[in-house]
Amino acid sequence: MNFQNTLEFAKKLDAQDALAKYKNEFIFPKVNGKDVIYFTGNSLGLQPKVAKTYVDEIMTNWAELAVEGHFHGSKPWWDYQERFADPLSKVVGAKPSEVAVMNTLTVNLNLLMVSFYRPTKQRFKIICEEKAFPSDQYMIQNQVRHHGLNPEEAIVEVKRREGEHNFRMEDIIAKINEVGEELALVLIGGINYYTGQVLDMATITKAGHDVGAYVGWDLAHAAGNIKLELHNWGADFAAWCSYKYMNAGPGSASGIFIHEKHHNSNLPRFAGWWGHNKERRFLMEPTFDPVKGAEGWQISNLPILSLAPYLASVYMFDEVGMDALIEKRDKITSYLEFILKDIAAQVGGDFEIITPSEPEQRASQLSILLHGQGRELFNYLMKNGVIPDWREPNVIRLAPVPFYTSFEDMYHFGQILKQGLV
């Protein structure tokens, strides 16, 4: 498509946008009395207006029914989480029995490693990506130590090539084959949080399985952002947080995926009563009999107040569908890229987009490496009603989330940026 950097053209794109009406379904912070241009939905998604209704419903049930709310609330709490299985499984490309919501992301990845990182003398290595999200690094290092192993020997990082910003698929596959029979687990972020690079998860999953390893995915930046097909790819497990692209609010619950092929296995796991046989959960039996499916990994009763906005949001995803979101995502990300390049050409901005330009390797995020101005430009944008995200040493991340950003936003952002660069 031939884009133009004009208000009129941006408005025309909005008029053609089937999702345009959803902008009004979210609440925007204001700067100088005006809604901000929000680029940080990859860090904390905006609040859907309907979320409050879902939270209020719990508060009202609690006030009026107290303990009876567990079984007689308008959405009873004892099985509140089961409402997620169907709509959430569509977001991540799974069967309903393969997903559950519980805890928060790093907690869940730790729990999943209990099941899927079972090092032996022969097979004990983990492949992850260089400079993984810090929480994942701490987790992997300490899981390795927990098994009495040395992180320096057990953790193998896939590296970027000298002078390059992104991983090459052939390097990831080569590393998997090189570690081969010593490889116990591949655990990588499906989308790199820093650059926004989307990895070919199907191919990596297959490569891991070909050498006899388990393959799991941290989908923090992927859930609600890209087309996932966890079941068909055969991924062993995955987990994601709900407060980024999934708009469920700060610290809201994480989702997990456990492939059907493991539902009847004897994988060790940590357990609690919420993973126990549903019909018999309240009989207070002495022996753990796990639910067959991802719910069998639940431990405690669920944080219902934190699930409420997530449920509101999951229903919105179900209404819109990932295909429509992805179609708009690609168009608006391309438009933002066009505007950035056009502004740079007009005023000679000294920056580069380090997110891959290949459509299959990028999603909602463009990461911009600033060679000239750094933090001052970021501060200037913040003051002028744009909320981007800053990552040391000098990267600005922009996520034009398709649910609630408009093409007009992209145009106005370009004009504000231009003022900041001259």
Ligand X SMILES: *Cc1c(COP(=O)(O)O)cnc(C)c1O
Which residue in 94, 101, 105, 311 binds ligand X (CB under 6 A)? 105
Shortest distance in whole angstroms from residue 111 CB to ligand X: 12
Q: What's the CA gap between 103 and 364, in Å, rounded?
A: 26
Nearer to ligand X, 136 or 408 (CB): 136
Site residues (CB under 6 A) for ligand X, limited to 123-142:
133, 135-136
Shortest distance in whole angstroms from residue 11 CB to ligand X: 34
- Residue 266's CB is within 10 A of a number of other CB atoms, namely 6
Q: What's the CA gap between 111 and 306, in Å, rounded?
A: 20
Nearer to ligand X, 109 or 207 (CB): 109
Residue 225: CA atoms inside 13 Å, Cβ hemisphere, count? 33
Q: What burial letters (b/e) apply to 326-361, b meaning 16+ CB within 10 Å?
A: bebbebbbbbbbbbbeebbeeeebebebbbbeeeeb
Shortest distance in whole angstroms from residue 27 CB to ligand X: 21
Q: What's the CA gap between 186 and 228, in Å, rounded?
A: 18
Distances (CA, A) of 207 to 175, 238, 293: 10, 17, 25
Q: What's the CA gap between 69 and 411, in Å, rounded?
A: 49
Shortest distance in whole angstroms from residue 286 CB to ligand X: 33
Q: What's the CA gap between 164 and 162, in Å, rounded?
A: 6
Nearer to ligand X, 77 or 217 (CB): 217
Nearer to ligand X, 140 or 314 (CB): 140
> Beta 351-353 vs 254-258: how paired, if at all?
unpaired
Give Cα 124 to chain centroid, integer Å. 27
Site residues (CB under 6 A) for ligand X, limited to 176-195:
189, 193
Q: Is 295 in the site for ligand X (CB under 6 A)?
A: no
User: Would you state the torsion angle of the CA atoms of residues 375, 245, 47, 67, taken in this order, to the nearest 10 degrees?
Assistant: -130
Shortest distance in whole angstroms from residue 319 CB to ligand X: 25
Shortest distance in whole angstroms from residue 106 CB to ligand X: 3
Which residue in 5, 40, 47, 106 binds ligand X (CB under 6 A)? 106
Contacts by residues 342-348 (CB-CB < 8 Å, ≥ 24 positions apart): 342/5, 342/414, 343/5, 343/414, 343/417, 343/418, 343/421, 346/418, 347/418, 347/421, 347/422, 348/421
Say if CB 239 and CB 256 are below 8 A apart.
Answer: yes
> Beta 351-353 vs 47-48: how paired, if at all?
unpaired
Q: What burial letters (b/e) apply to 309-318, b meaning 16+ CB within 10 Å?
A: bbbbbbbbbe
Nearer to ligand X, 41 or 69 (CB): 41
Interface region with ligand X, contact rule CB under 6 A, candidates 77-85, 104-112, 198-206, 295-303: 104-112
Nearer to ligand X, 97 or 135 (CB): 135
Shortest distance in whole angstroms from residue 218 CB to ligand X: 5
Give the interface size with ligand X as a residue count (CB under 6 A). Answer: 12
Nearer to ligand X, 364 or 406 (CB): 364
Interface region with ligand X, contact rule CB under 6 A, candidates 99-107, 156-164, 287-295, 308-316: 99-107
Joined together, the tokens standing for residue 132 give: 């993984």
Nearer to ligand X, 140 or 213 (CB): 140
Site residues (CB under 6 A) for ligand X, limited to 202-241:
218, 220-221, 241
Site residues (CB under 6 A) for ligand X, limited to 141-170:
none
Interface region with ligand X, contact rule CB under 6 A, candidates 103-111, 162-170, 363-371, 394-402: 103-111
Shortest distance in whole angstroms from residue 64 CB to ligand X: 33
Nearer to ligand X, 44 or 347 (CB): 44
Nearer to ligand X, 135 or 394 (CB): 135
Binding letters toward ligand X, positions 296-325, x by CB under 6 A: ------------------------------
Say if CB 125 and CB 184 are below 8 A apart.
Answer: yes
Q: What's the CA gap between 345 and 285, in Å, rounded?
A: 70
List residues near ligand X by CB under 6 A.
104-106, 133, 135-136, 189, 193, 218, 220-221, 241
